[in-house]
Amino acid sequence: MQIYTVMRAAGLVVLFHWLGFPGAAAQAESSSADLTYPPPGQQTPIIRSDRGESNSGVLLNSREAQRRAEQRRSGHTLIDGRYRLRRGSESQSATPAASVPAPSQAATTTIATPVPVAITTPEVGLLWRVQRDGGPHSYVFGTIHVDDPRVLDLPKTVLDAFQTSPVFVPEASLEEANILAIGFDLILKDGRTLEGIVGPELFEKVVARLASIGVPRQATNLLKPWAALIMLSAPKSPSGMFLDRKLFLDAKRLGKSIQPLETMDEQLGIFKNMPESNQITMLGEAVDQHAELPQMVEHLLGAYLNRDLSELQSISREYQTGQSDIADEMMERIVDKRNVTMVERLVSTLELGGAFVAIGALHLPGDGGVLQMLRSEGFDVTAEY
């Protein structure tokens, strides 16, 4: 079930946090729900919609990055076959900026297709220090979207980096209103039902599996196929406090400037824009492999807790089953294309320093990963933890 491994280690964080949000799965029967969609002959409360609007989508940017001349692309030394270190900067250090103003308008720096340094050894590390030309530094931290205590108990090195960074950069806004508003996008609004779309046999299997996380049959029948797929791909969460949400809430409590990388609509669009036939195919595969979820969880967590980014990539390939063309398309949508977008939006903010970037760990490794693209953009990238 590649969709599970990729989403847990790579993202669409707003979807997982809706699933893990206290009471989200049971909202379909909530007595206080105020959004109704009436299929023919009935009127069924589905999901609360009174908590706010969708994310406005402020993108990262503070200034246009202009320093891409030959000077920043020369004078590199290859260290350990994995990252570049600029000569003359080995002994330099920098502290985060005391304050970094929020961007006045959304903009991005368009990057060329990276020409990465070949990675000849496995990449190990979850926290990476990012710095250019000896300037102020930032951190990029790889997360995994789970609520396991072994993940939530962050080491001192990570906590210190987080606490001393005035800017927090999550994948997307995890405000309560944004999370709860997602429910509206999951629901069929054209008079059709999930049973009518996928057929009685597959529908009954979906109903049986979603019942275990508290989703009633009536609500399941109003889910879009991709919404049912996401729910099946997420094991039951006792607390709902995933690592990304914990960092988001801590950043709010500490008064940090929070600058999401993506909008809620961008994350949802990855599935909303997928052909319905592909949604049905992937839903069937998720049903068939649902019993394997506990094993996948431990496999992923083992690699993550060992900080082995290369192993995370291997696991995502190992569980790539079903129709390879659909799996490849989803990998490109969830990981590869978003990597490029993330780096485009990060460059100018990282130049200013003082940022703590928290994104799914599967975005980090590989020639097309965020770390390597940042190196190709002239940043020195070194593992801190």
Kindly report which listed range (42-46, 250-254, 293-297) carries the lowest average pLDDT score: 42-46
Each domain of the chain, given as residue ranges in start order, spans: 2-383
Please name the residue ranges forming H helices in 11-76.
13-20, 70-73
Residue 255's region, left for phi above 0, alpha for psi from -120 to 50, else beta, is left
Instruction: For residues 98-122, give the mean pLDDT.
Output: 41
Q: Which long-range contacts (CB under 8 A, 24 or more apart) does 249-257 make?
A: 249/174, 250/162, 251/162, 251/168, 251/170, 251/356, 254/163, 256/165, 256/166, 256/167, 256/168, 257/100, 257/101, 257/102, 257/166, 257/167, 257/168
Question: pLDDT tens digits, residue range 190-231?
Answer: 999 999 999 999 999 999 999 988 899 999 999 999 999 988
CB atoms within 10 A of CB 72: 15
Question: pLDDT tens digits, residue range 325-360?
Answer: 787 888 888 899 999 999 999 999 999 999 999 999
The residue length of the chain stands at 385
Per the listing, tokens 């990060």 go with 346
What's the pLDDT band for 158 if we cut at 50, 70, 90? very high
Give the span between the Cα atoms of 293 and 212, in whole angstroms: 14
Structure-model confidence comparison of residues 278 and 106, the more confident one: 278
Position 12 scores a pLDDT of 57
pLDDT, mean over the chain: 74
Question: pLDDT tens digits, residue range 52-73?
Answer: 322 223 333 333 333 333 333 3
Query: Which has the closest alpha carbon to 183: 126, 224, 142?
Result: 224
Percentage of residues of the chain with pLDDT beyond 90: 45
Burial class (CB in 10 A: 0-12, 13-18, 19+), 307: middle
Per the listing, tokens 């669409």 go with 12
Position 126 scores a pLDDT of 97
Give the span between the Cα atoms of 332 and 84, in whole angstroms: 26
Give the span between the Cα atoms of 116 and 104, in whole angstroms: 32
What's the pLDDT band for 6 if we cut at 50, 70, 90? low
In one letter, which amino acid is 10?
A
Give the span between the Cα atoms of 19 and 152, in whole angstroms: 18
